[in-house]
Amino acid sequence: MKQESLRITASTVDPGLLSLPWSTPLGKWPSEHIVSLPKGLSRHLVRFADLSGRVIAVKETTAEMAQREYEMLGNLAKLDVPCVSRVAVIAGRADAEGKALPAALVTSHLRFSMPYRALFTQVLRPDTANRLVDALALLLVRLHNVGFYWGDVSLSNTLFRRDAGAFAAYLVDAETGELHEEGLTDGQRAYDLDLARTNIAGEIMDLAAGGRLEHGVDALEIADGIVSSYRSLWAALTDEESFSTGETWRITERVEKLNALGFDIDEMTLVTTTDGTAVRIQPKVVDAGHHQRRLIRLTGLDVEENQARRLLNDLDEFQARSTRHQGDEELHAHEWLTRVFEPVVRAIPYDLRAKLEPAEVYHQVLEHRWYLSQAQGRAVPLAEVLTSYINDVLRHRRDEATIMGPPTETMSLPVVTGAVEVSPETAAIDWRDLV
């Protein structure tokens, strides 16, 4: 097999792909092509490379599996499921002597994402583990909701991005997945969930064996958390409710509950009983990203769901305090964006902007203002808050823009140890601090 038989499958071919050393086994690629980032364990050989100034992940596998996963990632992206973005499939590889080499799947690096092992320093704290499991449960619900059977649910096959004190989970490995247009059976969902519990227990136990689990933490209890979290979320999305005709307020309550979970309702079925004394309600098609879509519509900011909720809360507080443009949400949003959010982001020194993405920085500034105000018993001016946050918090964080995986033995990433209940009265940023 000759090098000229190289075949590239991609929706948009980056010319830089042709300059990568596909005639060399991935494990022997020269250093000028490799991005030196830590990585975790994988059943396949995976290396990170530079492609036209951006980071990509290259995985060696069979041509059939690479093409299948490439197509699956494309289908999931169309369904707006959180997953890594596909770049290309490279098949027909051969070395200088014509010996066949494995095909390669190329995906984009998900900026500001981290594998679960990179989310602790010396030990994994239970609150961090529980938040990771909750994020994975929500991802699994979203996948099952669109008819995707994963078949290999685990923390290792997931990347996590910080999301206003919580985490947002992204699917990384779709190799074993199946997409069923007619939806999943209860048995398929149950198998995926049981597999998730088993794999998570093993991964947490592996951390315990390496001395990286806080003393007294029960790995099985953490793993059990995905079952309860998943079932609670799935019930909120799909359960049918019955109530009397005098309790129609419960329709609004159900919608608000789903919105709080980040889902919109595309269709809802209401059925009255034969005697007309009761109503049954069941949401039909639900989609995730309620707060994300509202924030994009108002400001153009594309952030994680919890970050969107936090920013919208701040925007709503800003609007409530304003005496101008009463009732004009779009004008208030523009004013908040230009007078509040953007000045905070611009205040971050250039050399620190890879620490966290802008929405997470803004969320943490709000939290930091709340902490300082509580400690000092006064409303601390924003300029003082920013100086304190930049020098005392942000400078000591590890850059998260290009974390792809954990070092095998050494961890040095700080941990956010839990969500904080932020009071809008003390934490919301007043635009008058900025002008």
Per-residue pLDDT tens digits for 350-369: 889 888 889 999 999 988 98
The two tokens of residue 57 are: 């992940």
pLDDT tens per residue across span 67-81: 999 999 999 998 888
Task: Classify domain 114-238 at the CATH superfamily level.
Answer: Transferase(Phosphotransferase) domain 1 (1.10.510.10)
Output the pLDDT for position 435. Answer: 35
Task: Read off the pLDDT band of 111 (50, 70, 90).
Answer: confident
Output the pLDDT for position 168. Answer: 87
The candidate with the shortest Cα–Cα distance to 227, out of 263, 192, 261, is 192
Cα separation, 57 vs 45, whole angstroms? 10
pLDDT tens per residue across span 258-289: 777 777 666 666 777 776 666 666 665 456 67
Task: Read off the pLDDT band of 180 (50, 70, 90).
Answer: very high
The one-character DSSP state at 146 is T
Q: Among 25-34, 137-146, 287-296, 312-321, whose mean pLDDT is lowest? A: 287-296
pLDDT-above-90 percentage for the chain: 36
At 64, which helix (H) or strand (E)? Answer: helix 63-78
Q: Would the pLDDT of 429 be above 60?
A: no
Cα separation, 188 vs 322, whole angstroms? 51
Cα separation, 61 vs 45, whole angstroms? 8
How open is the CA angle 80-81-84, to the nearest 5 degrees?
110
Cα separation, 137 vs 233, whole angstroms? 8
401 Cβ contact partners less than 8 Å away, ≥ 6 residues apart: 111, 112, 354, 355, 357
Say if CB 10 and CB 17 are below 8 A apart.
Answer: yes
The candidate with the shortest Cα–Cα distance to 122, out of 16, 207, 244, is 207
Average pLDDT estimate for 175-184 = 92
Q: Where in the chain is CATH 3.30.200?
A: 3-109
Output the pLDDT for position 418. Answer: 34
Say if CB 213 and CB 123 are below 8 A apart.
Answer: yes
Cα separation, 143 vs 171, whole angstroms? 9
Output the pLDDT for position 116. Answer: 82
**What letter represents residue 387's amino acid?**
T
The one-character DSSP state at 148 is E
Task: Read off the pLDDT band of 433 (50, 70, 90).
Answer: very low
Q: Would the pLDDT of 427 be above 50?
A: no
Q: Would the pLDDT of 411 be above 60?
A: no
Kindly provide the b/e burial profile for residues 154-183, where b requires at least 16 CB atoms within 10 angstroms of the residue's own CB: bbbbbbbbbbbbbbbbbbbbbbebebeeee
Q: What are the helix and strand counts (H, E) for the chain?
A: 12, 15
Q: Would the pLDDT of 408 be above 70?
A: no
Task: Read off the pLDDT band of 315 (50, 70, 90).
Answer: confident
Instruction: Please indicate, yes or no, whether the overall pTM of this predicted structure exceeds 0.85.
Output: no
Average pLDDT estimate for 325-334 = 76
Q: Where in the chain is CATH 1.10.510.10?
A: 114-238
What beta strand segments (E) does 75-181 contain? Answer: 86-91, 103-108, 113-114, 148-149, 158-163, 166-171, 178-179
What is the radius of gyration, based on Cα positions, of the chain? 24
Output the pLDDT for position 254. Answer: 79
Cα separation, 10 vs 261, whole angstroms? 35
Cα separation, 188 vs 234, whole angstroms? 14
Output the pLDDT for position 284. Answer: 55
Average pLDDT estimate for 53-73 = 94
Any idea which residue has 């998730």 for tokens?
A: 196
What mean pLDDT value characterizes the chain? 81
Q: Among 49-58, 399-408, 409-418, whose mean pLDDT is lowest? A: 409-418
Q: What is the CATH number of domain 3-109?
A: 3.30.200
Average pLDDT estimate for 295-308 = 86
Average pLDDT estimate for 306-335 = 80
